[in-house]
Each structure stands twice: as C-alpha cells, then as structure tokens.
Amino acid sequence: MPAQDFVPVADIAELSEGEMKPLQLDGRRLLLVHAEGHYYVIDEMCTHEDYSLALGCIKGRRIKCSLHGSYFDLATGEPEEEPADEPVCSYRVEVADGKIWVNPEKLREGASTRCRR
C-alpha cells in the first residue's frame, strides 16, 4: 500500500499500453496515461486554450494536443512545441496492490514547478 495521501485511480489491468483515462479528483480534471511502460498523471487540460489532452495522442513519452499540436513531456509536464508555453502539472504516481495510485497534491520528481496548481 502506498504512503498516505495516495488514492487509487485504476486497476493495472484497466489501462493497456498507449491508453489514457480522464480522472476527477477533488474537483480537478486529471489524465492518467500509460506510455512506454510507465504511468503518468497530468492535468487534463492543455495550458494553451483549455482543450482536453484526452482528445490528443500519445507519442513515446509525450502527449500531443490535438487542437494546435503542442507536445507535452509526460514526466516533466513541459511543453515541447508551440503554441503552448506553460507546463501542465505532472503528479506522483505509484503502482501497488494491482492498482495505480496518485497523490494529486505532490508533483512527480523532476516535474516542472512552473505549472498552475
């Protein structure tokens, strides 16, 4: 069982490689992503024009916003292509007891601290 403040958001079997799942936690819209063998939880909405990244696609360890084409690094949340110039938040994730857990109050190690929280 992960440390306190982590909440289970999905069973491991629920999310195949390359899939994502929108989450609602404490009124916040987040996105769980399974990419290249890792799980990431980021803000669901693109920082450019509040468009859902759940409508985008996963490219390696990046996610592409389908509205104007910005890429975001899933681990750091940093944008890698314009027009977005602000990062999304990337949160701490753990895998335990057959589930994926997230702490939506803590940023992932190495995540950008410039994100809006």
Can you give the binding site for ligand FES, defined by CB under 6 A?
46, 48-49, 51, 65, 67-68, 70, 83-84
E-strand stretches of the chain: 7-11, 20-25, 28-35, 38-43, 57-59, 62-64, 71-73, 90-96, 99-107
Cα–Cα distance measured from residue 117 to residue 99, given in angstroms and rounded to the nearest whole number: 25
Rank residues 2 and 87 by Cβ distance to ligand FES and give the closer one. 87
In the complex, minimum distance from the CB of residue 67 to ligand FES, in angstroms, rounded to a whole number? 4
In the complex, minimum distance from the CB of residue 68 to ligand FES, in angstroms, rounded to a whole number? 3
Rank residues 23 and 53 by Cβ distance to ligand FES and give the closer one. 53
In the complex, minimum distance from the CB of residue 34 to ligand FES, in angstroms, rounded to a whole number? 21
Q: In the structure encoding, which two tokens stand for residue 70, read together?
A: 């910005």
* 8 contacts 91 by C-beta, under 8 angstroms: no
In the complex, minimum distance from the CB of residue 52 to ligand FES, in angstroms, rounded to a whole number? 9
Rank residues 8 and 48 by Cβ distance to ligand FES and give the closer one. 48
Rank residues 8 and 29 by Cβ distance to ligand FES and give the closer one. 29
* 93 contacts 108 by C-beta, under 8 angstroms: yes
Cα–Cα distance measured from residue 60 to residue 78, given in angstroms and rounded to the nearest whole number: 15
